[in-house]
Structure 1
């Protein structure tokens, strides 16, 4: 993917921030003792809020249902990064724009890479190995959070980062981490139990793009294919790949195509029509790269993952 337009956008946003600073910004935060943290993705932001609790103030850069692969930072994002003491990212190249954003902001704090310690999958699930990811790390799948065991590793690293930045609240962060780790264990166990009720022959998954590799591996599903044959949403399905996917869906007896909340469903709907299977979308669309709206059950990591499993099992078992 050509990153030049994104670099220009970041540079322009940085210039806007500097201009605003030169004119005298009246919006400086004052008086709060909470730790200022910038989190990149909805998943990482939810983890930081959960572990940090009332002792952190979290600025989330990527909003719900915004594609992280194509995100471009705004002047407000750069300003927030510059004012933060901690930046928490997903890592594995998902935030290809972040390094330049940090450089432009003058950030002097610590960056926590939540992927540290996670065993990474090779990038791409499509047969033939032709898909390109478009990420800074093009060899590995960045969608690590879809395995709750990886989420435990992520929140553990985040907890350590918060404690290092704010030792006075380290005990609170540790207690929050312990409580949340138990919820992640329950999520994992509930997912396993749900798929245990689904015959192995019916555990066939077709999604918008290759976002569910860790989930597929964890719960022993069969990945049939994706509408966008890449880890990155900017890739396009060729006519030959489209025909091949339709044929594979028919040959494997796959029952449904699952759309994703942050991606348009039109191509998935067209493929489903050709293959003669149902398309799962609308309120039942999966959360592949994002979470739901704030204040909804799917607005949290736990709620979004519970939603995904419930929808997949219901559609494939129906």
Structure 2
């Protein structure tokens, strides 16, 4: 189930914001400072994916505070007082970018943050949206192409090196090791997708979150139950009927639900279209990693699980 956090009472939030602003950024490191003596960079990462990249790049030189928990939808997240406090005390704040964290700018302003804000999407070729407000920045699900994950990891490493030049060699070594794993993942996914007959490489998902994956591995996107990058959009009756017709006419093998979204609509469409729905433990990880111990606990795990689920269903 997607998790929504209720807005806390205004006096509580206001009190926290005032406290955070008064503290300012309690950063113990300035640009070029050293991490010697066991002191770590204090890093806040917005999403589960960005936090995972930061852990791989930063290793034991950084302390990561991850704002979004596994299976929490980033599109409609509401920051907590603890998030404001964490940002106020951070040396570095890492964001996915491409409009995914629409709530972040105001939170940073409220926190009185004076550290380094890193847009991990810098340098990524962004897929265009449909012109609507929620898609004005383009498709934010950039991590579903491992080559984009490499760019994001490089941006994170550069930021860490800028704040902690004494540990540059460690960050570079970690980045090299992780990039090798991402390259291996990319090759493995391509090989797996190529085992699906070409005329069966057709994808229907819960929302339009897999465009970068589809483009990278040459699948055909038939449609999504939520016709948007944003999970708050809704499918009209006409669009629902059209999607069912497309599923039937194109010979789609399966519909894929997502770990952070309720599967009810997907299951209803699957029943009407007469196709299997991959839900529950076999659903895809779209907007978020899974909890520790799950099939999507890390980015590498997530993409392997998604690929195995897709390949098994489309070959069946």
TM-score, normalised via structure 2 length: 0.90
Is the CA contact (8 Å cut-off) linking 2:153 and 2:175 kept in structure 1? yes
2:311 to 305, 310, 313: 313
Q: Which residue of 1 aligns with 2:300?
A: 302
Is the CA contact (8 Å cut-off) linking 1:14 and 1:78 kept in structure 2? no
1:207 to 199, 205, 214: 205
Q: Which residue of 2 aligns with 1:148?
A: 146
Is the CA contact (8 Å cut-off) linking 1:133 and 1:231 kept in structure 2? no
Structure 1 gaps of 5+ residues are 1-5
Is the CA contact (8 Å cut-off) linking 2:126 and 2:142 kept in structure 1? yes
Is the CA contact (8 Å cut-off) linking 1:147 and 1:214 kept in structure 2? yes
Counterpart-to-counterpart distance in 2, 1:258 and 1:182: 29
1:37 corresponds to 2:36: no
Q: Which residue of 1 aligns with 2:81?
A: 75
1:267 to 265, 268, 281: 265
* 1:16-27 matches, cutoff 5 A: 16-18=15-17
Q: CA deviation at 1:167?
A: 1.1
Is the CA contact (8 Å cut-off) linking 2:209 and 2:287 kept in structure 1? yes
Is the CA contact (8 Å cut-off) linking 1:10 and 1:101 kept in structure 2? no
Distance 1:21 1:61, change over 3 A: closer
Runs of 4+ in structure 1 deviating by more than 3 angstroms, as ranges, are: 8-14, 18-24
* 1:66-145 matches, cutoff 5 A: 66-123=72-129, 132=132, 134=134, 138-145=136-143
Q: Which residue of 2 aligns with 1:255?
A: 253
**1:65-91 superposed Cα distances (whole Å, 9 cap, x missing partner):** 000000000000000000000000000
Q: CA deviation at 1:297?
A: 4.7
Counterpart-to-counterpart distance in 2, 1:296 and 1:180: 21
Q: CA deviation at 1:296?
A: 3.7
* 1:209-248 matches, cutoff 5 A: 209-248=207-246
Counterpart-to-counterpart distance in 2, 1:10 and 1:57: 30
Q: CA RMSD in A?
A: 2.3
Structure 2 gaps of 5+ residues are 29-36
**1:116-144 superposed Cα distances (whole Å, 9 cap, x missing partner):** 000111125xxxx7xx4625xx1410000
* 1:8-19 matches, cutoff 5 A: 14-18=13-17
Matched residue SS, 1:69: coil
Which deviates further from its counterpart, 139-148 or 293-302?
293-302
Matched residue SS, 1:299: coil
Counterpart-to-counterpart distance in 2, 1:177 and 1:51: 5
Distance 1:10 1:191, change over 3 A: farther
Is the CA contact (8 Å cut-off) linking 2:21 and 2:110 kept in structure 1? no
**1:247-302 superposed Cα distances (whole Å, 9 cap, x missing partner):** 00000000110000000110010000000001001001101000010244521000
TM-score, normalised via structure 1 length: 0.89
